[in-house]
Amino acid sequence: MSLPTVVSREDWLVARKLLLAKEKELTRRRDALNVERRNLPMVEIVKDYAFEGPDGKAGLVDLFEGRRQLIVGHFTTSCFLRDGDAVFHTYATFGRGAEMLGGSYYWLDLTALGRQEDWEEPKGRASRAHAASPDFSD
């Protein structure tokens, strides 16, 4: 089995800081990509879907349970936005697109409203933007 090289704590810290700079650049690039994703046009769902749930029959809008966004995982991942009784398809993964779904922030980054934090673009998507919690800003 091949293992990483063993170095002193000082050498490890130098290497870690170099990698951290690359990780931060990747985060900035991912943030920019998320802005593009949130700016994708959306498609209104006009088909009257019917689902069978624990309380009987339900329509697509019922799956939101009063929320504005819905993420559905099946063979792909699809994101939906509800505006009143209108439902819009805003995003879907294709192929290996679900690999980025490593945690709740990644899921939120797929949605049209995003994390709804005050630093996010485009502005004006959240009814009340809030700071990152926990605060990972640098």
Give the span between the Cα atoms of 113 and 35, in whole angstroms. 10
pLDDT at 109 (0 to 100)? 81
Q: How far apart are CA 45 and CA 130, in angstroms?
A: 30
Residues 52-108: pLDDT tens digits? 988 899 999 999 999 999 999 877 889 999 999 999 999 998 765 665 666 777 788
Helices H, strands E: what count in the chain? 2, 6
Higher pLDDT, 136 or 6: 6
Which of 111, 117, 121 is closest to 88 using CA atoms? 111
Q: Which residues contact 5 (CB under 8 A, 6 or more apart)?
A: none
